Homo-oligomer: A and B are copies of this chain.
């Protein structure tokens, strides 16, 4: 949860005046998103979410993120659609910071997804991959294998404060993946942060996906591997095979995995666990005194790594062939 920006009366009035959206009748900071501030804005014409991009958001990538949402929504994918100002631009400014107004998406994220939720999430992820085809902009994924060594070095020996042996386990994993990371897999736009808090449901049905601020170009199966880590482990870090079957089955109901992707899945899942272990370790070590946001615990991803190291084949995750 986070609302970092104080929006004054004048800021809001000036912002709304740049759009054809009527007059504001509700404006509330909401506890959604970690790096950006989000506000619920209701006007006489519709409901919206206003996102204010804070320092952590890479300003030069905002056109990619906003363009992607526009592309996905225009290709039938349920996600927030950027609203254009009277001058046609979608990237705005408020309180001196970059900002975007997007359409409001009904739905509620689930905290403990069931197998049915996992199946729906798998379908939604494949639909996202399909809908992203043809999006012209490109953003290399800074959090794929080439980005891991700098992250590992930034935490270094300090990782020992979190768990004995962690710095060594991280260094070994980075070396393994640098030597053998799968290349040439089917690729396109991936969400790259497909966690349960970014997927909305109404009842059992997925109503849409939010938070495209890690989206990048990378292997589709790596996105699926991230989702496998995010959706199919229990709070004690044990793997729930039923949920794995549901997620993978849901995905393949929309987009069939190729033989190369199936073969790569165990390493992709291991790499995905490492990617979140790395950023969470660093976030925990670098948390500023008096920070408003409690960092995620990295340890569950250390435990997922141990699990993935023992996996030989995608069928062990529940893939049927």
Contact = CB atoms under 8 A, between A and B. Distances in A.
A3 B26 contact: no
Contacts of A9: 110-112
A104 to B, nearest CB: 8
Contacts of A97: none
Contacts of A292: 292
Interface stretch (A28-36, A78-86, A171-179): A28-36
B28 A32 contact: yes
Contacts of A24: 108
A25 B106 CA distance: 6
Interface centre among A12, A25, A32, A203 (most CB of B within 10 A): A25
A297 to B, nearest CB: 15
A8 B292 CA distance: 21
A156 interface: no
A42 interface: yes
A109 to B, nearest CB: 9
A321 B30 CA distance: 46
A27 interface: yes
A110 B8 CA distance: 8
A98 interface: no
A40 interface: yes
Nearest to A27: B108
A24 B9 CA distance: 31
Nearest to A24: B108
Given A1-B3, A9-B111, A112-B8, A29 B30 contact: yes
Nearest to A117: B9
Interface string A75-107: 000000000000000000000000000000011
A23 interface: yes
A202 interface: yes
Interface string A25-63: 111111110000000101000000000000000000000
A140 interface: no
Contacts of A26: 106-108
Contacts of A202: 23, 25
A184 interface: no
